[in-house]
Structure 1
Amino acid sequence: MARKTTAPPVEPFDEKIVDIDVASEMESSFLEYAYSVIYARALPDARDGLKPVQRRILYMMADMGLRPDRPYVKSSRVIGEVMGKLHPHGDQAIYDALVRLAQDFSLRLPLVDGHGNFGSLDDGPAAPRYTEARLAPPSTAMTAGLDEDVVDFVPNYDNKLTQPEVLPSAIPNLLVNGASGIAVGMATNMAPHNLVEVVAAGQHLLANPAATLEDVMRFVPGPDLPTGGKIVGLDGIRDAYRSGRGTFRTRATARIENITPRRRGITITELPYLVGPEKVVEKIADGVKAKKIQGVANVQDLTDRTHGMRLVVEVKTGFDPEAVLEQLYRTTPLEDSFGINNVALVGGQPRTLGLLELLRVWVEHRIEVVRRRTAYRLGKRKERLHLVEGLLLAIVDIDEVIQVIRSSDDAGIARARLMDVFDLSEPQATYILDLQLRRLTKFSRIELEKEQSELEKEIAALEEILGSDAVLRRVVSTEMGDVAATYGTPRRTVLLDSAGGATTSAAAAPGGARGRKPAEISLEIADAPTHVLLSATGLLARTAVAPAAAPTASEGDQLDLDGVALGAPGAPGASGAVSRHGRRHAHDALRGDVMTTSRSDIGLVTTAGRMLRVSALELPSIPPTDGAPSLSGGIPVSELVELAPGEEALAVVSLADDAPTLALGTAGGVVKRVAASDVPSNKDEWTVIGLKDGDSVVGAAPAGDDDEVVFISSDSSLLHYAASAVRPQGRAGGGIAGISLAAGQTVVFFGVARAAVRPELTVVTVGGSAGQLPGVGGGSVKVTPYELYPGKGRATGGVRSHRFLKGEDRLVLAWVGEGPARAVGGAGQPVELPAPDHRRDGSGTPLAAPISAIG
């Protein structure tokens, strides 16, 4: 049977209930929380520009001895030290702050030297166990002097250790590296600046305490972002410098260039601040799919560690790359806005500061740091001088000092007797008692006297600094200049008053780049008149500027084509249309020029007697230079069409229905005219002359009935007659006899003398020997007016144009065109030509240098 038990009586609980107003409690708790977030986490101090976690990281790394010349340590070790001693808020928060201090795309002047994957704008960093860190060189300037009482130290979270309330910060970190953070009811977002510019403004403020905002803005014109790029519109920056709040637009740095031989593209080398390449590629791809972006064929991210940032946007044929770029600025992060909100802690209170206030806070902080450091050093120097003076007194009568010490029962008595006998202070007497006997030599006395003299000089200099505000400011200014010289770098961001073009009127107003209404832009290239140019080296380009309006190039003009020397028209037989467009461009000679429109096709005549269709849109557009095409950006013919071995492009011609007939001349002396209307519309290539075995075309040009065809043979015979003497044939025709050639001779030049410019034409002939190529070896050159040569009938032998000198037996080069003629060598250098010789069959003048091309 179970035994019954009774529970003890429950004594009444002594409750104490306090009635609290919920609204008051919530208000009080929220204010404490808000103050903690604002003061201890989210907002930087205006003096050193650091949040508490950043300051603790730098201080602890300096305390651990992780200087720039020391080995890296695991990031986990740094995190452990910071979290265990100073910042008990979680390892992830500490690591995130450490990573940002090491990212060169986030900070203009990184303060931590990271080793390993510290992330990118599109990807996060590796785990802290995989990365290593140490202080970057600028951090030594941020922490220098911490052991010299330059700042106040406060207890850590458990009152067992101390930490600096603020770092000495010889670098204006808040302005140089900017800051971002979200507190309770407020936030900060500050743009990075250039160290050299900010220091110059600080030095000006030191020398002129009453300086105005306009004065300091002469030194700090705008932010300098770590990723470079462009800032478009400066009104928002001026507002931010004045009031602490403002907005500006940032743009990527892009250039138009040849992506492939047939396609132009946009190469982006710098992106707006905090915009990653993957985000840009994604936005472009989304825009193309949604048909909001037109003209983009492909986007490639070619960014790597060797070449840096590089995004390539291929533009479709027929679209204007400049217009496509403007479209990308409007619809993608290639143009972004940055809102400045300069909120920082001043005296523990959050304030919105303009540029002048930010500079003043840092300058005053540096003055205080240098003043405290000077006072500390002065005290240390005086203490040391006091000990040295006491030691010198003891050394003068060292025997008596030893006797006093030996006759004393203990150290306390010895100290007291030394103080009494030699009139020493207690620190001096203690120092003498601790002295090693080896310091009592004669040499030691000399050293002490020298040290005494140096200490007296240092004390005088330090007292001068403390005694004069002007000297103190001068020292601070000098140290600022040293910091700028050591860690400063050139400006990376370009400042533009406006974007120009279609978006010039859009101000950098709140709402950013997406808030403005763009002007209408034509994306497709207009079907406007253009010239297609063929160079002697087989390069093609188009330009909207008529070469006829171009001024004659002077000797020594250096117009080049993407760094490629443009020179020789090739082997004997190179020729072109004799027209007012045949003027020379240094580093090249124009072989052909045809007027067409941007969206038309042109024909390319080759030495094999073929005509190849080429779209003008596929050719790079070269910019004008003082009214003349600069020939910059052309591409080789071989990149556009397929040529057989040894086949060359000779001329470019119009394929329009109303174009004049095309005249062709061959090395074997054959001439042919082909009607322009005889063009197959469904073919990209066709034959324009049926050539015999071993023959080749040496020249081609449009020829009307009023024009003349011109032959010059290797034995110096010049023949010209009316083009009307050559009846047009079909494409399959093999032509008719054009000039009668002696045995073993060939045609070295064929062209067309247009009636409009015939009186201005010049004949240039270059004599040489058999087997000699243009631009190689000696020879002679002669310049003669074209009008001196009488015309003769078709298929005759012509008249002699050049009498050979000893050692010469043939012409290696000839040219007929509008004078004055100019010649270039193989490297594109100008070669001086002799004055015109009015002797039709006279001999030439010995060459000063080999000639490769004439134009």
Structure 2
Amino acid sequence: MARVTGSDTETVDFEEHILDTDVGDEMRSSFLEYAYSVIYARALPDARDGLKPVQRRILYTMDDMGLRPERAHVKSARPVGEVMGKLHPHGDSAIYDALVRLVQPWSLRLPLLDGHGNFGSPDDPPAAMRYTEIRMDRSAEAMTASLDEETVDFKPNYDGRLQEPTVLPAAIPHLLVNGASGIAVGMATNIAPHNLVEVVQALRHLIDHPDADLDALMRFIPGPDLPTGGKIVGLDGIRDAYATGNGSFKMRATTRVENVTPRKKGIVVTELPYNVGPEKVIEAVKKLVQAKKIQGISDLKNLTDRKNGLRLVIEIKNGIVPEALLAQLYRQTPLESSFGINNVALVDGQPRTLGLREMLTVYLEHRIDVVRRRTTYRRGKAADRLHLVDGLMLAILDIDEVIQLIRGSDNRGEARGRLISVFDLSELQADYILDLQLGRLTRFSRLELEKEADELRRTIEELDAILADERVLRGVVGDELAQMAQQFGTPRRTVLLESAGVPALAAAGGSIEVPDDPCWVLLSSTGLVARTSDAEPLGSHGRRAKHDTVVAVVRATARGQVGVVTSAGTVHKLEVVDLPNLPPTADSPRLQGGVPMAELLSLDGDPLTLMTFDEDVPGLALGTRAGIVKRVKPDHLTNRDSWELLRLDDGDRVVGAVPLATGDEELAFVTSEAQLLHFPASVVRPQGRSGGGVAGVKLGAGAQVVAFGAVADIESAHVVTVAGSSSALPGTQAGSVKVSPLSIYPGKGRGTGGVRCQRLLRDEDALVFAWVGDGTPVASAASGSPVDLPEVVDKRDASGTPVGQPIAGVSASASDLPGARNVSD
């Protein structure tokens, strides 16, 4: 090759270096590198902290920037730029998309970031990052807590200039609580969100019982708990996923039929399946109507707002059966959709498909390692500080000689050496004394040092005890998980149904004639309602089911009506023909075929019990939060769908409503002060519907009634009380439970304060739940799963026993349920 320099031409020879490479080998090598990068650095979460690399880098960077909950929000572009420049060498849009998802409450069961501005909706994208503002939430602080205490390993960032954590300490089991989704090369992951309280309960059970099988764990985690609520129909696929890591389940919207105008009914949608937005449903319904594939819809309105939440109203033409139309909408629109579970996550750097027990075990091992490393770090810091304090105390004991020795030295090095040799100090102790301020050389400082040394020795002793005993270490992990559940836990949102629960009505436009045969109407503790034509009141349903307890049963006819009594002091008519008919021999979870009460009636309060309109029964007894009691025999108003049973003062609610069989029952109140009062129902004069009741129990300042009940036989009746913290969110604390016979509590006069029924322990300031009734009690959690009650205690002032999960409902045997015992077979 020739090169021209000025007027001369110079010849330069270049040696050629050509490497022959097979195209197939190059493609395979490049593809494997790309696949490895996508799998390990982008798409799959780590099974320990449940985070993908970009999510982990966002949280770590925001923690490093000090964007904590007590600080002001900053523009989202700031943490996005920091993450991209320091740790994540990819596009800013990918980082911002991950950041946005950590804010959205409809995407995560427990959001980790707190945002200001437009972060989108299930149908719409968020605003640009220059418009939105962000900071960490308290839950994000729990994910990064103890990060500076050598709890996890660090690795170099992409250019080797900085360090980043390989995993976060993760005090919250993020993988199960918030789930994950991602598509890698040749594999994908899709993990459903779950309830934090239930996951923590399962983890604590696994701590105490390392050999627990899947059935034991599913008592605490019966199924996913989706951020948008709704219903899960069919539990077989969930069990398959928990056992193998792969399965599927159907998600269904929460709907109810109500009168949208005086002459027109409508289907009101209040909750949608996970990852389904209202616009998708509206578009699908419009296409079906335009194509004439579905008949009977006159209008569809989206009345969603910030105050009332989601509300889609589908107006129905006259002459159309709403339930039949709803069944068509479930089949043909996103009101019902499937979720395919594929639990793939990184374990020891390798992608693995995990079952429920494996996911819990991996997280638990991670937390045990984090707590062990944190304890070792804190023990080392305490020992180092004690070493310095011991040296300082030696110097203060003979401070005059120390000062003379230092003043007589020519330089710092000589002074250090003389201190070490004269007082037998270490080099660290000698340097610390040389840096000592003269103001510390007082008698008061010496007392402070002695107190600090004692505290450090106690701390070291406690930390040594944790490191020396694996059981103590696991106990610390369990206690910290319980704190997370108490701080961030919320009640379950998603209802689990064993089957579809569609009423036996008809296809669109017609109805099936149901014979007006005698039947029993059942109400469960989770608000499900159904009917059964069993000869016995409950048939096999009276036995303890896997996922529910029956709290009320009344006799009716298939084409008759029953009343639903609510906490607002009202009764609502319920058409028995609209209820699903349970198989006579069914013994399945959650009243197979039962439907939520909210789908049938628009109630003004929580459903408490069922009542019959039979004029031959004595009526009802009602007890309120403020201690008011009322006996009422309501009229059957044929021209009204609901009416008032009790006139309530502002802030008061009905806590218990019990059908009376004879009028000679014993009425009982249990208050938050752990006081129990019972007296004969005969001392309460029946009143009309307009009456406001009479004084039932005397309450102290700040106290309220937590339970009201009626029993037919004091000798066979029992009391269940649960003590806890009144400041905790409902459904997030298990508390301590006591079961005792009602006969040990003496009766008192109406309007008095009663007697003590449970001794409160430390950290307990009130009773948070109670039940009084005939027969042997059985309990269930908010998810419907059973809760094992402790043994019966024949002591009035005994304390409670901790249970595995919070109690949401208690019931007795079928023959003792309100409404069942007043009707002969």
Q: By the TM > 0.5 criterion, same fold?
A: yes
Aligned to 2:428, what secondary structure does the other structure show? helix
Give the fraction of aligned pairs with identical amino acids, expressed as a percent: 64
Question: Does the aligned pair in 2 maintain the 1:385–1:452 contact within 8 Å?
Answer: yes
Name which of structure 1's ranges 625-634 and 170-179 shifts more when overlaid on structure 2: 625-634
CA offset at residue 217 of structure 1?
A: 1.0
When the two structures are superposed, what TM-score results if normalisation uses the length of structure 1?
A: 0.61
Match of 1:114 in 2: 115
Distance 1:633 1:67, change over 3 A: farther
Aligned to 1:94, what secondary structure does the other structure show? helix
Match of 2:71 in 1: 70
Which structure 2 residue ranges, 5 or more long, are not aligned?
A: 1-5, 517-554, 574-600, 604-609, 615-634, 643-685, 694-825
CA offset at residue 461 of structure 1?
A: 0.6
Distance 1:22 1:315, change over 3 A: same
1:586-645 deviations in Å (ceiling 9; x for gaps): 999xxxxxxxxxxxxxxxxxxxxxxxxxxxxxxx999x9758797699479xxxxxxxxx
Between the aligned partners of 1:550 and 1:470, the Cα distance in structure 2 is 56
CA offset at residue 502 of structure 1?
A: 7.1
Amino acid at match of 2:166: E
1:376-420 deviations in Å (ceiling 9; x for gaps): 000000000000000000000000000010011111110011001
When the two structures are superposed, what TM-score results if normalisation uses the length of structure 2?
A: 0.63
Question: Does the aligned pair in 2 maintain the 1:561–1:631 contact within 8 Å?
Answer: no
CA offset at residue 293 of structure 1?
A: 1.4
Match of 2:391 in 1: 390
**Aligned pairs (5 A) from 1:707-786:** none
Match of 1:51 in 2: 52
**Aligned pairs (5 A) from 1:681-696:** none
CA offset at residue 328 of structure 1?
A: 0.9
Distance 1:412 1:564, change over 3 A: closer
Match of 1:130 in 2: 131
Amino acid at match of 1:827: S
Match of 1:342 in 2: 343
Between the aligned partners of 1:825 and 1:464, the Cα distance in structure 2 is 66
CA offset at residue 828 of structure 1?
A: 7.6
CA offset at residue 258 of structure 1?
A: 0.9
Amino acid at match of 1:297: S
Distance 1:263 1:437, change over 3 A: same
Question: Does the aligned pair in 2 maintain the 1:319–1:525 contact within 8 Å?
Answer: no
Amino acid at match of 1:42: A
CA offset at residue 84 of structure 1?
A: 1.3
**Aligned pairs (5 A) from 1:558-573:** none
1:624-674 deviations in Å (ceiling 9; x for gaps): 9758797699479xxxxxxxxxxxxxxxxxxxxxxxxxxxxxxxxxxxxxx
**Aligned pairs (5 A) from 1:97-108:** 97-108=98-109
Aligned to 1:501, what secondary structure does the other structure show? coil
Amino acid at match of 1:110: P
Match of 1:521 in 2: 507
Between the aligned partners of 1:386 and 1:241, the Cα distance in structure 2 is 51
1:278-332 deviations in Å (ceiling 9; x for gaps): 1111111111111111111111111111001111111111111111111111111
Between the aligned partners of 2:70 and 2:143, the Cα distance in structure 1 is 16
1:96 aligns with 2:82: no
Amino acid at match of 1:354: G
Match of 1:472 in 2: 473
Between the aligned partners of 2:556 and 2:497, the Cα distance in structure 1 is 33
**Aligned pairs (5 A) from 1:410-559:** 410-501=411-502, 521-524=507-510
Aligned to 2:232, what secondary structure does the other structure show? strand
Between the aligned partners of 1:22 and 1:627, the Cα distance in structure 2 is 84
Aligned to 2:9, what secondary structure does the other structure show? coil
Amino acid at match of 1:239: D
CA offset at residue 204 of structure 1?
A: 1.1
Question: Does the aligned pair in 1 maintain the 2:324–2:506 contact within 8 Å?
Answer: no
Between the aligned partners of 1:633 and 1:120, the Cα distance in structure 2 is 43
Match of 1:61 in 2: 62
Match of 1:688 in 2: none
1:94-120 deviations in Å (ceiling 9; x for gaps): 100000000000000000001110000
CA offset at residue 70 of structure 1?
A: 1.0
Question: Does the aligned pair in 1 maintain the 2:506–2:512 contact within 8 Å?
Answer: no
Match of 2:783 in 1: none
Amino acid at match of 1:455: L
Which structure 1 residue ranges, 5 or more long, are not aligned?
A: 504-518, 531-548, 552-556, 566-585, 589-619, 637-822, 831-855
**Aligned pairs (5 A) from 1:805-820:** none
Between the aligned partners of 1:94 and 1:587, the Cα distance in structure 2 is 52
Distance 1:416 1:136, change over 3 A: same
Between the aligned partners of 2:228 and 2:487, the Cα distance in structure 1 is 21
Match of 1:198 in 2: 199
Aligned to 2:265, what secondary structure does the other structure show? strand
Q: Which runs of 4+ in 1 moved over 4 A?
A: 9-12, 525-530, 557-565, 624-636, 823-826
1:186-231 deviations in Å (ceiling 9; x for gaps): 0000000000111111111111111111111111100000000000
CA offset at residue 523 of structure 1?
A: 3.2
Between the aligned partners of 2:291 and 2:11, the Cα distance in structure 1 is 77
Between the aligned partners of 1:399 and 1:295, the Cα distance in structure 2 is 100
Between the aligned partners of 1:197 and 1:632, the Cα distance in structure 2 is 45
Aligned to 2:124, what secondary structure does the other structure show? coil
Equivalent in 827, 837, 842 of residue 690 of structure 2: 827
RMSD of aligned residue pairs (Cα, Å) = 3.0
Amino acid at match of 2:152: V
Question: Does the aligned pair in 1 maintain the 2:108–2:227 contact within 8 Å?
Answer: yes
CA offset at residue 29 of structure 1?
A: 1.1
Question: Does the aligned pair in 1 maintain the 2:72–2:135 contact within 8 Å?
Answer: yes
1:214-262 deviations in Å (ceiling 9; x for gaps): 1111111000000000000001100100110001000000111110000
Question: Does the aligned pair in 2 maintain the 1:560–1:632 contact within 8 Å?
Answer: no
Amino acid at match of 2:373: R
Aligned to 1:146, what secondary structure does the other structure show? coil
Name which of structure 1's ranges 12-21 and 178-187 shifts more when overlaid on structure 2: 12-21
CA offset at residue 522 of structure 1?
A: 3.9
Question: Does the aligned pair in 2 maintain the 1:562–1:633 contact within 8 Å?
Answer: no
Between the aligned partners of 2:59 and 2:567, the Cα distance in structure 1 is 49
Question: Does the aligned pair in 2 maintain the 1:562–1:632 contact within 8 Å?
Answer: no
Between the aligned partners of 1:18 and 1:561, the Cα distance in structure 2 is 83
Between the aligned partners of 1:303 and 1:183, the Cα distance in structure 2 is 36
Match of 1:544 in 2: none
Name which of structure 1's ranges 394-403 and 24-33 shifts more when overlaid on structure 2: 24-33
CA offset at residue 424 of structure 1?
A: 0.3
CA offset at residue 9 of structure 1?
A: 6.6
Question: Does the aligned pair in 2 maintain the 1:299–1:314 contact within 8 Å?
Answer: yes
Distance 1:264 1:431, change over 3 A: same
Aligned to 2:463, what secondary structure does the other structure show? helix
Between the aligned partners of 1:219 and 1:561, the Cα distance in structure 2 is 29
1:416-448 deviations in Å (ceiling 9; x for gaps): 110011000000000000000011100000000
Distance 1:633 1:424, change over 3 A: farther
CA offset at residue 8 of structure 1?
A: 3.4
Name which of structure 1's ranges 285-294 and 494-503 shifts more when overlaid on structure 2: 494-503
Aligned to 1:8, what secondary structure does the other structure show? strand
Question: Does the aligned pair in 2 maintain the 1:138–1:487 contact within 8 Å?
Answer: yes
Question: Does the aligned pair in 2 maintain the 1:244–1:352 contact within 8 Å?
Answer: yes
CA offset at residue 158 of structure 1?
A: 1.4
Match of 2:178 in 1: 177
Distance 1:395 1:631, change over 3 A: same
Aligned to 2:148, what secondary structure does the other structure show? helix
**Aligned pairs (5 A) from 1:332-411:** 332-411=333-412
Name which of structure 1's ranges 211-220 and 372-381 shifts more when overlaid on structure 2: 211-220
Question: Does the aligned pair in 1 maintain the 2:564–2:611 contact within 8 Å?
Answer: no
Amino acid at match of 1:415: R
Question: Considering only CA atoms, is the larger Rg found in Structure 1 or Structure 2?
Answer: 1
Aligned to 2:102, what secondary structure does the other structure show? helix
Between the aligned partners of 1:453 and 1:154, the Cα distance in structure 2 is 38
Question: Does the aligned pair in 1 maintain the 2:563–2:611 contact within 8 Å?
Answer: no
Between the aligned partners of 1:470 and 1:560, the Cα distance in structure 2 is 49
Amino acid at match of 1:523: G
Between the aligned partners of 2:32 and 2:266, the Cα distance in structure 1 is 56
Match of 2:249 in 1: 248
Distance 1:406 1:16, change over 3 A: same
Match of 1:314 in 2: 315
Between the aligned partners of 2:128 and 2:280, the Cα distance in structure 1 is 23
Match of 2:709 in 1: none
